[in-house]
Structure 1
Amino acid sequence: MMTPRDQYNLAFRSTIVCGLFAAVVAINLGSDYRSRTAKDPLNSAEYIELRAQLLEDPKNETLQESFRALDTELRDAYFDSRSFSYWGGWLLLLSTAGTIGLGKWAAVLRRRLPDPTLTSSERRATAGETDNRIGRNAVGGFAGLAVLLAFGFFMAIPNRLPSRPTVGQADEDAHLASSDIEKGDTSEPPSSDALATQTAELTPSAIPEGFPTVEELAANWPRFRGADGLGIVTEMAMLTSWNVETGEGILWKTEVPLPGNNSPVMWGDRIFLSGATETTREVMCFDAVSGELLWQKAVPGTPESTAETPNVMKATGFAAPTMATDGRRAYAIFANGDVGAFDFEGNLAWSRSLGIPNNAYGHASSLMTFENLLIVQFDQGSEGENLSRILALNVESGETTWEAPREEVPNSWPTPILIYVNDQPQLLTCGAPNAVAYDPRDGKEIWRADCLYGDVGPSPVYADGIVVTANEVPGVTAIKADGTGDVTETHMLWDGFMGVPDLCSPLATNQMVLLLTSDGLLTCYDLHEGGDPLWEHEIDASFSSSPTMIGENAYLFDTDGQVFIVKPTLESCTEVGANDLAEPCVTSPAVKNSRLYIRTETQLMCIGE
C-alpha cells in the first residue's frame, strides 16, 4: 500500500513529466507555426525556378512532369505541416490540463505530509507557511500554464489573417507583365446589387420549346456551380452562422453510402450525387426536404471500362465529376469513362462507355446539358497524342450527336460553361494551350485564345461580355467574347499573375474577379481594367472547393470543413463569419430557396432556417 509520501512523490514527478512534455510540444508548435506562416510552399526557390523554365518552354513534357511532381510534393508537405499543428495543438491542450490537474493533486498531498519532529503548534504554523508558499507558487504556475493553454487553443484553431493592401511590384518576366492602371480613390463603392449581378445573360427566346426554360434552370441547381456554372446566386438571403454540434441552422444530415468528390445538383425536391469505388459506380437520389435517400442505382460497366482500374489520385477519386440534370433525367460520368442516365424514379435510361481516359490525376471535368444534348469535355493524354475531345450526347439515347477533336490539348480538368453573346450560344472550354468557344449545337469552333499552359484545373467564368480564365501557369486572363477565329492578339484585354489558383475556379461579377488559391489567398482584380490586384485577403486554410457567392457574401469551404464567409467589395474584403462542417469538404454547395446543400466526406447536409 502506498504511503502519503509515496503518493506525493508520484504526483509531483508526474507533474514534472507532464509539464516538460507540454513545454516540448509548445516549442515545436511555435517553431512549426513560424515556419508555416513565414514561408509559402509555392514560393520555394526550386518551384519558382521550375515555373520560370516551364514558361519559357511550355511544351517540354519533361519539365511538365517535374513541375507536376514538385507541386504535389510541396502541397503534401504543407498539408502535413497543418496536420501537425492541429494535432499538436490538442496534445498541448491535454498535456497542459494534465499538468494542472497533477499539480493540484501534488499540492493537496504536500499539505497532508506529517513532520514527526514538530510539535502540534509548530505543525500548525508550518502548515500555514506552506499553504501561503504553495498559494504563491500556484498563482505563478497556473499563470504559466494558462499561457500554454491559450497557445494550445491558438494552434488548434485555424488562424485567419487580416486583409492587407497589395504593394505594386515590377514583373521580372516581360511576357507576364500586367499594365499599370492608374486608379483614382474618389470613386464610390459599388452597391451590393451591382456586385452580385447574375452574369450569364440567357434569354427566354434562346431556349427552344420542349427544353427547360431560363426560369426553370435558374430556379434549380442543374450542374456544377449552378445553372450558368458561375457559382453566383443573386437576391437571396443565406445563413452566416450555424452549429453542427448543437444542430443550430442544420435542417438535416444524411449519410452518403459511397465516396465521391462531386458536388450536389438539384431539380425540384430531388438532389443527385454520384459515388464510386474501384469496382462500383452508382447514382444516388435524396429528398431535399427530409434528406432521405430515395434510391441508389448502379451504372453498368462494359468489358472495356472494367478491364482495368483507372489511375486516379486520392484527391480526385473515382467519382469526381459533378452530375447534371435537365429536369427529365440525371446524368453521371465516372473515372473509367462510364456515362449513365436515370429518370427521376431511378430507372436506367441508357449507359455507355467512352473508354478509360489516360489522365494523370483522374478524370474530373463535370457534365452540363444544353437543349437535348449532354456535353462531355473528355481531355486526356499528353500534348501531341491527340486523345482529347469534346462530345455532345443525345440526352434520350446517349448516342453521339457531334464530336470535336481537341488535338493540342493534353489532360485537363475544367468544366465547360454556356454563355450567350449577341443572343447566340457559346460553349466555353479551357485546356492548354487555349480557351476555346464552340457552337454547342454542332461543335464548330467560334474562337480561340492562346492563354493557358501546363495542367489546367480551374473552369472559366463570364461576366459583362468578358471571359475570365485562370491557372497557376501562366496566370489570369480576360478575353472579350465577341470575336471569331484566333483572338489572341485582338480580344485579350488584360492578364495578371498574382494570386492565381491551380484548383479553385474564379468568381466574376460585373465589377470584379475573385481568385482563391489552394493555400488560402483571396485576390481581387478589376474585371474591366485588370492591372495590379485591388486587394489580397489571407486565410490560414487550404482550399480545393470553388467559392460560391450568395447575395453580397462569398462562401469559402476549406478542406478541413471550415466555412469562411467574407463580404468582398472593390475596396476591401470583410470577414463576416466562420463555421465548421465537422468533416473534411472538397465540394461546392448547391443553393436553393435560401438553403445550402453541401457534401462532406461522408454526409450530405442542408443548412438554412
Structure 2
Amino acid sequence: MTSPRSGNLAICILVLSTTLGALGSTGHPAAAEDWNVFRGPSANGIAEAGTSVPTEWSREKNIAFRTELPGQGWSSPVIANGRIYVSAAIPVDQQSDAKATEYELTLIVLDAKNGEILKSVPLMRQTAEKSARIHKKNSHASPTPIVDGNRVFVHFGYQGTACVDLDGNLIWKNRDLFFKPVHGNGGTPVLVDDKLIFTCDGAKDPKVVALDAGTGKLAWEVKRPNDAKKKFSFCTPLTIVIEGQKQVIAPGSDCVLAIDPASGNVIWELFYSGYSVIPKPIYHNGLVYLSTSYDTPSLLAIDPTGQGDVTETHLRWSINKNVPHTPSLLADEEYLYSISDDGIAMCVDAATGDVVYKKRVGGGFSSSPVLVDGKIHYTNESGETTVIATGPKYKVLAENDLGERTLASAAVDANALIMRTADAIYRIEE
C-alpha cells in the first residue's frame, strides 16, 4: 500500500511498460537492480528478469533480518544503493500512537543487507491543529519515498513534501499545498524529468500538481474538470509514452486525466462513477487499466491515444465484479491479475476483458502484489502471502505467514523480498 500504499487508505486505506524510457526517466536513472519507486523501477510491481526470491518463508525460515521501526507508517519500502528507505510518523511526546496528536514526519534509512537503522531524519512537524483524523487502515506516513540519483523525495500528502540528499540533508521543503484531507494521506508522487507530480484530492477543490524537482516550487496545477459528490481519492499517477508524448495518467473521483507533464495541459480525460480511487493504474499491450474504487469498482481498459473527452470513444472494455478497491493490478503477457480487498484472485484476458478464473484466496487485502520469476505474491493484511503461478490456471505454490499486520507493498532487492509490517522491516532471503 502506498502503498500505500499507495493503499484503501480511504475507506480501506489507503502496467506501465517495462522500460525505464516509458517511465519518463530522469537525469539520474536508477541501477537496474534498484527498486527505487513504488512498485519497482518500471512501476508495475514486476521484478526484473533473472530475479528469484524465496517461495517459502516463515518467521523462523529464510529471514535475513527483522528490524523494529519507530513510530508508524504504511509507506512501502524502496531500495537504492544498498539502502532501504521508508517514512514514518513518530509521536513527538513518545506516547502510544493511539494517543499521539503531534508527530515528527520522518525518513528512515536502513542498511539493506543487515537491517541496521543508519539514519532517522525528521523532515516536518505535524501539529495537533493539522493532525486530521485518519481511517484505521491509514497512517500519517503512507506515501512511498522516491530515490533518484543523489536525491530522495519524501511526500506526506496534505502535510507537505521534502527533498533531501542521500545523507538526509535538506535540499528543499514545500508545505504550501495544505488541503483538507478525508481519511488522511495516501497517494505517492511520480517523478518525470524535472517535475514531481502528485494528486491533491481532498474534501474540496481536487487537483493534480507538479513541483519543480530542483527547487520544490509549484510548476503547474490542473483542477479536476468535474464536480464529484465525493471528491477525495488517493491514487498514485502513472507515466507512459504514447507516440513520443509523455502522459501522466492521474485517476481521481469520477474522472481520469492524461496530462502533459512538461506543461500541465490535459491531453485526454475520461469520466466514470467512483471515488476514493487508490490502485495505481498500469499500462500493458497498448492499454491503460484502472479501478474506479468505491462504491462498486469497475475495471476499465482505456486506449490512451485520444484527445479531449474520450469517454464514449476510447473505453475498450470494463468489468464490475471482484475488482479491487485498494490493491493495484499486475499484467504479464496476455493476462491481467488482481486481488480484491476481500480476497478474490482474478485473471482476465487483457485484450478482451474475459474472465479466465476467479479464486478465493482468503483474508483482507490492501497491499499491491509483486511478480517475481513467474510467481505472483499476494500478501493479505494479516501478513500471510499466497504465492501462485502466472498463467491461465490457478496454481498455489506456497502459503507463508509472518504473523504481523501489513498494508504496505513488498519490494525486491536482488534475490530478496523486503516487507514492511506494522512494527518492522523484514529481509526474506535464502
TM range (shorter): 0.7 to 0.9
Q: Deviations over 1:291-314 (max 9, x none)?
A: 111110111348xx7633212112
More strand by share: 2
Q: 1:298 to 1:206 in 2, by over 3 A?
A: closer
Deviation (angstroms), 1:227:
2.0
Residue in 1 aligned with 2:242?
421
Whole-angstrom CA distance in 2 between matches of 1:507 and 1:342: 31
Aligned partner of 1:589 among 393, 405, 410: 410
Structure 2, unmatched stretches of 5+, are 1-7, 92-100
1:509 aligns with 2:327: no
1:391 aligns with 2:214: no
Whole-angstrom CA distance in 2 between matches of 1:295 and 1:400: 29
1:290 aligns with 2:114: yes
Query: In the TM superposition, what are the counterparts of 1:179-198 in structure 2 within 5 Å?
Result: none
Residue in 2 aligned with 1:223?
37
Q: 1:205 to 1:413 in 2, by over 3 A?
A: closer
What secondary structure does 1:330 align onto?
Answer: strand
1:324 aligns with 2:146: yes
Aligned partner of 1:475 among 298, 301, 305: 298
Query: In the TM superposition, what are the counterparts of 1:128-207 in structure 2 within 5 Å?
Result: 199-203=17-21, 207=25
Residue in 2 aligned with 1:372?
194
Aligned partner of 1:403 among 205, 221, 226: 221
What secondary structure does 1:300 align onto?
Answer: strand
Q: 1:205 to 1:524 in 2, by over 3 A?
A: closer
Q: 1:206 to 1:365 in 2, by over 3 A?
A: closer
Higher relative contact order (CA 8 A, sep 6+): 2
1:493 aligns with 2:337: no
Q: 1:357 to 1:206 in 2, by over 3 A?
A: closer
1:579 aligns with 2:400: yes
1:299 aligns with 2:112: no
Deviation (angstroms), 1:474:
4.3
Deviation (angstroms), 1:395:
2.1
Residue in 1 aligned with 2:4?
none
1:362 aligns with 2:184: yes
Q: Deviations over 1:9-47 (max 9, x none)?
A: xxxxxxxxxxxxxxxxxxxxxxxxxxxxxxxxxxxxxxx
TM-score by length of 2: 0.88
Q: Is the 8 A contact 1:451 1:477 kept in 2?
A: no
Q: 1:301 to 1:324 in 2, by over 3 A?
A: same
Whole-angstrom CA distance in 1 between matches of 2:358 and 2:124: 47
Identity of aligned residues (%): 27
Q: 1:312 to 1:407 in 2, by over 3 A?
A: farther
Whole-angstrom CA distance in 2 between matches of 1:411 and 1:227: 28
Q: Deviations over 1:452-488 (max 9, x none)?
A: 4233222211101100011343411101121111111
Q: 1:232 to 1:317 in 2, by over 3 A?
A: same
What secondary structure does 2:357 align onto?
Answer: strand
Q: 1:486 to 1:573 in 2, by over 3 A?
A: same
Q: 1:511 to 1:354 in 2, by over 3 A?
A: farther
Q: 1:241 to 1:433 in 2, by over 3 A?
A: same
Q: Deviations over 1:56-80 (max 9, x none)?
A: xxxxxxxxxxxx9xx96xx8xxxxx
Residue in 1 aligned with 2:54?
239
Equivalent pairs, count: 403
Q: Is the 8 A contact 1:547 1:554 kept in 2?
A: yes
Residue in 1 aligned with 2:83?
270
Deviation (angstroms), 1:377:
1.3
Residue in 1 aligned with 2:69?
256
Deviation (angstroms), 1:428:
0.8
Q: 1:207 to 1:359 in 2, by over 3 A?
A: closer
Whole-angstrom CA distance in 2 between matches of 1:587 and 1:200: 22
Whole-angstrom CA distance in 2 between matches of 1:575 and 1:420: 35
Larger gyration radius, structure 1 or structure 2: 1
Whole-angstrom CA distance in 2 between matches of 1:475 and 1:446: 23
Whole-angstrom CA distance in 2 between matches of 1:497 and 1:527: 15
Residue in 2 aligned with 1:525?
348
